[in-house]
Amino acid sequence: MTVTVSRVRAAKPGAMLDAADDVRTTSAALEIVIGVERGQLANLKANWQGQASDAAIAKAQQLIGEQEAYRGRLDKLAKALTDGGNQLTSLRSTLLEFVDTALQLGFSVSDDGVVTPQQWLIGDLGPVKKTAEFFTDSIQEQLKAFDTTDTLTATAIDQAVQGQKPSAPVNIGGQEIQIPPPGTNPEDVNKWWTGLTPEQRQQLIARHPPELGNLNGVPASARDAVNQQVMNDDLNRVRDVANRNHVSEDDVLKDPGRFGLTQTDATRFYNARRTSEGLAHQRGSTLDPTKERPVMLWAYQPEADGGQGRAAICLGNPDTANNTTVIVPGTGSSVHDGWLADGHDDAIHVYDQAALADPSRSTAVMMWMGYDAPDSFTDPRIANPTLARQGGDLLAADVNGLAATHLGSSHVTVMGHSYGSTTVADACAGSGMKVNDVVLIGCPGTDLAHSAADFHVNGGQVYVGAASTDPVARLGMGGPGAAQWLNTELGNPLGPVAGLGTDPSAEGFGATRFRAEVAGETGWSFHDHSKYYDMGSESLRAMTDIASGHSERLASDGLLAAERHQPTFSTPDHVDLPFGIEVPVPHVDIPIPGTPAYSDPESNRPGETVTNDHDYK
> Tell me: the pLDDT tens digits for 185-212?
899 999 999 999 999 999 999 999 999 9
SS (H, E, C) 2-37: CCCHHHHHHCCCHHHHHHHHHHHHHHHHHHHHHHHH
Q: Pick from 465, 472, 469: which is nearest to 438 by CA?
A: 465
Pick from 81-85, 285-289, 370-374: least confident: 285-289
Q: Helix, strand or coil for residue 411?
A: strand
The mean pLDDT of 345-369, rounded to a whole number, is 97
Q: Which residues pair with 171 in a beta bridge?
A: 176
Element (H, E) at 574: strand 574-577
Report the candidate in 547, 549, 617 with the shortest Cα–Cα distance to residue 347: 547
What is the per-residue pLDDT across 97-124, written as a single tens digit (0 to 9) for each?
889 998 988 889 999 999 988 765 555 5
Instruction: Check residue 437 and give its pLDDT.
Output: 98
- HEC profile for 29-71? HHHHHHHHHHHHHHHHHHHCCCHHHHHHHHHHHHHHHHHHHHH
For 586-598, the pLDDT digits (tens) are 766 666 555 566 6
- Answer yes or no: are the C-beta atoms of 425 and 449 closer than 8 Å: yes
> Is the distance from CB of 544 to CB of 357 less than 8 angstroms?
yes
Question: CA 74, CA 81: separation in Å to the nearest integer?
Answer: 10
Rounded Cα distance between 513 and 438, Å, is 12
Give me the pLDDT at residue 2, please: 75
Average pLDDT over residues 48-68: 77
Q: Other C-beta atoms within 10 Å of 55: how many?
A: 10
pTM attached to this predicted model: 0.73
CA 595 to the chain's CA centroid: 35
Bridging pattern class, strands 363-369 and 323-328 = parallel
Q: Is 108 helix (H, G, I), strand (E, B) or coil?
A: strand
